[in-house]
Structure 1
Amino acid sequence: MQRDLHAMSATEYDLVVVGGGITGASVAWDAALRGLKVALLEKDDFAHATTAGSSKLVHGGLRYLVNGELKLVRESLRERRRWENNAPHMVHPLPFVLPTYGWGMSGPIVMSIGLALYDLLSFDRNWLSDDDKKLPGFKRLSKGKALDLVPSLPREGLTGAMLYYDCQMFAPERLCLECIEGAVEYGADAANYAEVTGFDSEAAMGNGVRIKGITVSDRLTGETHRVRGKVVVNAAGPWADKLMGFADDTPARRLIRSKGIHIITRALTGENALAIKSKIGGHFFVIPWRGHTIIGTTDTVFEEEPDKAGVTEKDIADFLRVVNDGLPGLNLKRADVLHFYVGLRPLVDTTPQVAGEDGKKDSYNASRAAEVYDHAPEEAIEGLVSAIGGKWTTSRHLAEQVVDLALKKLGKTAKCETHCTPVYGGEIGRLKSFIARAKLRHAHLPGDVVENLVAFYGSRIDEVLTTATERQGESEELLRRLGPNVAEIGAQVVHAVRHEMARHLADVVFRRTGLGTLGHPGPDVIAHAAELMRRELGWDETVTAREIAETTRAFDTQSASKAAA
């Protein structure tokens, strides 16, 4: 996968996709599989924002049942199964404990009815070839069993718990990248650090305009390019309305940006996740992940520019109060927070339906349903389609609808194939067997290193290890760990630069590997990765120091003054 904006500017595409998060990645993957000539452009690094800032869940949305969104729940549950099938190294079953209190809406009878409906809507959940991926139906737990599993649960009014199953991703940013790599494998072109600054348009019939391409600023070189496309897809997530503004000063669709922070701490709940409701802050999840625990998420309207989103010390303190209210037995303190991150959910603004009683926007109760919006009928802008809203789990299906519309505009027909096609790295079969064979094949590597490689690259593990032998004399160094306490090896850094378009140290630390996703891995590890990138990209000492400093700052909270700026 190589970055070449000069070549892209000399090509006419069927589809130009703006946005390298999971929506744009899924659109590009779907369209490329259907034989369209596709370009994908991202202003930062792929998966750098909302896609990486999720709760790592692939789930049906149990709480959407309360809002009567049965169609969305069914769609999500169907897509959950498809992600399990198509990305078996990335998407895994996750048991949830849901405590019950009293005999009302939070009691066992109501919860049993809701979960029975949830299981009914996921009737196809076990249409899987790998038995290890199959999800049992829910079951009721006694109060004693609930406390055995989760001793920190508040005991007053506790009547037991429900145990049900959803799924989680090992690394959402990697799964997004694999969709892009799959698109490129089928002929798509992609570029990160390529910011769209405007549309290239011409007058159309009547008073309308036709979009025939985009203007792109190369953020690495400062050059400007024009990329031509018959249809442009706006998949810019939290920036989608900003992109619409390039075509119309008053776009017909608006967004609510919901800010969600997560904190990462030590392992707290064994193998079980928790769904907890706090009296002062709504519900949150406590999720086991990579030997640690993710707690999330907040859900507040963010009205600043999306580029300014960050985590402040106040954000963490406020969220810890919510967590300790819901699970007082944890008694978490600031020192327990090993890492944190933020994401902005782009929700379709359907005012007044989502207006709170005080007239303010309400992101918590806003629907997570997506919209595919054709700008031609209402705004007389031909050649522009926006994919707005949605959630990680349903991104593949959203992309299918986008490409269906694009094909209609192009006067072409082709069936969607992403529902039954493994992602790049997903051709595995039974995961447990694949890991065992990989360990035998690479017995010269430690077992945890091989497991980590399979988790990140799936069936493409050998391609990554081949990178270590591409140049004479590199093999021994690149097969060593980047540090004594990490599973990542040097070959992953070099592979990210040579074959995955990594251009900054943060790209490798946070999105091509898992080096920084659990917190700071240590100065020596960061320096080792930076040195490998320096050799590949020809950085001098000044650039290398700057890359290390900028990556290190990403582990710090945002100052209050910066957040308000």
Structure 2
Amino acid sequence: MKRDLKAMSATDYDLVIVGGGITGASTAWDAALRGLKVALLEKDDFAHATTSGSSKLVHGGLRYLVNGEFRLVRESLRERRIWENVAPHMVHPLPFVLPTYGWGMSGPIIMGIGLALYDLLSFDRNWLSDDDKKLPGFKRISKGKALDIMPALKRENLTGAMIYYDCQMHAPERLCLECIEGAVEYGADAANYAEVTGFVTEASMKRGVKVSGVTVLDKLTGDTHTIKGRVVVNAAGPWADKTMAMVDETPARRLIRSKGIHIITRDISGSNALAIKSELGGHFFVIPWRGHTIIGTTDTVFEEDPDDLGVTERDIANFLIVVNDGLPGLNLKREDVLHFYAGLRPLVDTTPKTAEGEPAPKDSYNASRAAEVFDHGAEEAIDGLISAIGGKWTTSRHLAEQVVDLALKKLGRTAACETHCTPVYGGEIGRLKSYIERAQKKYPHLAPEIVANLVDYHGSRIGEVLATADERQGEREELLRRLAPETNVIGAQVVHAVRHEMALHLADVVFRRTGLGTLGHPGVPAITQAAELMRRELGWDETQYAREIAETVRQFDTV
């Protein structure tokens, strides 16, 4: 991928997409596959916010059954299977332990009925070519077995547990990037650090105004560009209402921003995830991930500017109280927290008014995760603008399909969606286990765990990454080495990210192109080695080099 805003400003696009998270990325991928000329613009780095700040789950949303959202659950379960098929190196089965208590709503009978319905709604879950990806139906286990799996469970009224299956992503930020890379491969143009600052409008022949493009600030150079498009898609996630306000000061749709924090600890859950309910703060997950455990998430209304999101020490302390209430035997302390991160869920605000006509208090926990495709031309006389609002990571592909369907209708064209059956960039691997074994034999000069890590992050494009080591004379030996003894990330991944994946800052590589920093601070040697490789590629002087390291390291601290 090459970033060239000047060339983009000289191009007429069918679709201009504002936002480089998974919704924008999926929309670009879908539209490019259908033959549209697409531009994707992101004000920060791709996947920098909600997309990378998730629980890493691709799931049906078992708890949504309680709210009667059967359509959303069915959609999610179908999309879960599709992601397993098109991104086999990224999406994997994950068993969940759901403890049962007493004989009421949290007991085995009610839970069993709910899980039976969950399995029924996922009737197609094993329509997969890779047997390792297939998901068994739920089963009940005894109290003793439940305690063997997680001794820290509350024991009072414990009657056993249910085991059911969902999926998780190895690296959501990489999967998002692969959707963008797939779009670029089919002719799309993309740019990060390209902030949309306004809309270009003209009088509509029908009524109101017609959006015909966007103004863009290049955050690297300070230059301003105009990018023209026949249809503009607002896929700005937590910034979607702010983006709408650029063309209408009183946007027709409002968002509830829900802050969710996660903490990462040593491995405390083995191979099983747990869904735990706390009397103090709703439910949370305990999720095995890359030899560690993710615990999350919180769900609180966030009223501040989305650019100011961060994790505070109070956030961590309050969440540990909730976790220790739900799993009293853990007794987690602050020093057990190796890393933390936060994300904002952009939820469609359907808050009703009180009897006095005032808005009721916002409730992010019980708000629907359903998405909305809003046609501003149909409802606001702002033609040429579509907003994709709300939704879940799991259903982002389907949301994008609906957006592109509407865009094609506006453009007077037809083309069938293909993202449900087209592998993502790097997804052409067949059975994952066999592919890794073949790759390890093909590259015997690399440690098996390095090859496995390369497949995890790059899938079938592993050869392109390793070829980076041979692009310039004398680099091979250095670029095939680990950045530090404790990591499986090699120098070629860093250089490849700069040359071919639009990595412009050290944090892009550390947090979003590799997994170097996503489990916590990887150590000074790894950080400085990655920075040194990027300095040589991008020509940083000593001041910029020091600034990049300082800004990256600061992201491991609370705010």
Query: What TM bracket, shorter-length normalisation?
Result: over 0.9
Change (3 A) 1:516 1:61: same
In 2, distance between residues paired with 1:186 and 1:269? Answer: 41
In 2, distance between residues paired with 1:393 and 1:116? Answer: 21
Paired residues of 2:353 and 2:359 also in contact (CA < 8 A): no
In 2, distance between residues paired with 1:116 and 1:219? Answer: 51
Q: Which residue of 2 aligns with 1:105?
A: 105
Paired residues of 1:354 and 1:365 also in contact (CA < 8 A): no
Q: Which residue of 1 aligns with 2:211?
A: 211
In 2, distance between residues paired with 1:281 and 1:462? Answer: 46
Q: Which residue of 2 aligns with 1:284?
A: 284
Q: For 1:275, what is the secondary structure of its paired residue?
A: strand
Question: Is 2:409 aligned against 1:408?
Answer: yes
Q: Which residue of 1 aligns with 2:220?
A: 220
In 2, distance between residues paired with 1:68 and 1:92? Answer: 27
Q: Which residue of 2 aligns with 1:388?
A: 389
Paired residue type of 2:400: A
Structure 1 unaligned spans of 5+: 559-565
Question: Is 2:447 aligned against 1:442?
Answer: no
Q: Which residue of 2 aligns with 1:195?
A: 195
Cα distance per residue 1:102-142 (max 9 Å; x no partner): 00000000000000000000000000000000000000011
Q: Which residue of 1 aligns with 2:186?
A: 186
Q: How far apart are residue 492 of structure 1 and its match?
A: 0.3
Q: Which residue of 2 aligns with 1:326?
A: 326
In 1, distance between residues paired with 2:526 and 2:414? Answer: 50
Change (3 A) 1:139 1:29: same
Q: Which residue of 2 aligns with 1:240?
A: 240
In 2, distance between residues paired with 1:423 and 1:297? Answer: 28
Q: How far apart are residue 378 of structure 1 and its match?
A: 1.8
Q: Which residue of 2 aligns with 1:398?
A: 399
TM-score by length of 2: 0.99
In 1, distance between residues paired with 2:467 and 2:325? Answer: 50
Q: For 1:77, what is the secondary structure of its paired residue?
A: helix
Runs of 4+ in 1 over 4 A off after TM superposition: none
Q: Which residue of 1 aligns with 2:538?
A: 537
Identity %: 82
Question: Is 2:72 aligned against 1:80?
Answer: no
Paired residue type of 2:365: Y
In 2, distance between residues paired with 1:360 and 1:268? Answer: 37
Q: How far apart are residue 359 of structure 1 and its match?
A: 3.2
Cα distance per residue 1:304-324 (max 9 Å; x no partner): 000001000000000000000
Question: Is 2:317 aligned against 1:317?
Answer: yes
Q: Which residue of 1 aligns with 2:337?
A: 337
Alignment of 1:490-505 (within 5 A): 490-505=491-506
Q: How far apart are residue 205 of structure 1 and its match?
A: 3.2
Q: How far apart are residue 204 of structure 1 and its match?
A: 1.1
Q: Which residue of 1 aligns with 2:4?
A: 4
Q: How far apart are residue 341 of structure 1 and its match?
A: 0.2
Q: How far apart are residue 207 of structure 1 and its match?
A: 4.7
In 1, distance between residues paired with 2:361 and 2:290? Answer: 38
Aligned residues: 557
In 1, distance between residues paired with 2:32 and 2:378? Answer: 27
Paired residues of 1:439 and 1:447 also in contact (CA < 8 A): yes
Paired residue type of 1:339: H
Q: Which residue of 2 aligns with 1:562?
A: none
In 2, distance between residues paired with 1:500 and 1:269? Answer: 34
TM-score by length of 1: 0.98
Paired residues of 2:352 and 2:359 also in contact (CA < 8 A): no
Paired residues of 2:218 and 2:224 also in contact (CA < 8 A): yes
Q: How far apart are residue 497 of structure 1 and its match?
A: 0.2
Cα distance per residue 1:386-443 (max 9 Å; x no partner): 0000000000000000000000000000000000000000000000000000000001
Q: For 2:44, what is the secondary structure of its paired residue?
A: coil
Question: Is 2:373 aligned against 1:372?
Answer: yes
Q: Which residue of 2 aligns with 1:347?
A: 347
Q: For 2:558, what is the secondary structure of its paired residue?
A: coil
In 1, distance between residues paired with 2:482 and 2:354? Answer: 50
Q: Which residue of 2 aligns with 1:508?
A: 509
Q: How far apart are residue 485 of structure 1 and its match?
A: 0.3
Q: How far apart are residue 292 of structure 1 and its match?
A: 0.1
Paired residues of 1:354 and 1:366 also in contact (CA < 8 A): no
Q: Which residue of 2 aligns with 1:120?
A: 120
Q: For 1:64, what is the secondary structure of its paired residue?
A: helix
Q: Which residue of 1 aligns with 2:31?
A: 31
In 2, distance between residues paired with 1:392 and 1:378? Answer: 27
Paired residues of 1:33 and 1:183 also in contact (CA < 8 A): yes
Q: For 2:109, what is the secondary structure of its paired residue?
A: helix
Change (3 A) 1:472 1:301: same
Q: For 2:294, what is the secondary structure of its paired residue?
A: strand
Q: How far apart are residue 358 of structure 1 and its match?
A: 10
In 1, distance between residues paired with 2:129 and 2:523? Answer: 41
Q: Which residue of 2 aligns with 1:476?
A: 477
Q: For 1:215, what is the secondary structure of its paired residue?
A: strand
Q: For 1:419, what is the secondary structure of its paired residue?
A: coil
Paired residues of 1:27 and 1:402 also in contact (CA < 8 A): yes
Q: For 1:14, what is the secondary structure of its paired residue?
A: strand
Paired residues of 1:193 and 1:220 also in contact (CA < 8 A): yes
In 2, distance between residues paired with 1:203 and 1:254? Answer: 26
In 2, distance between residues paired with 1:86 and 1:352? Answer: 39
Q: For 2:128, what is the secondary structure of its paired residue?
A: coil
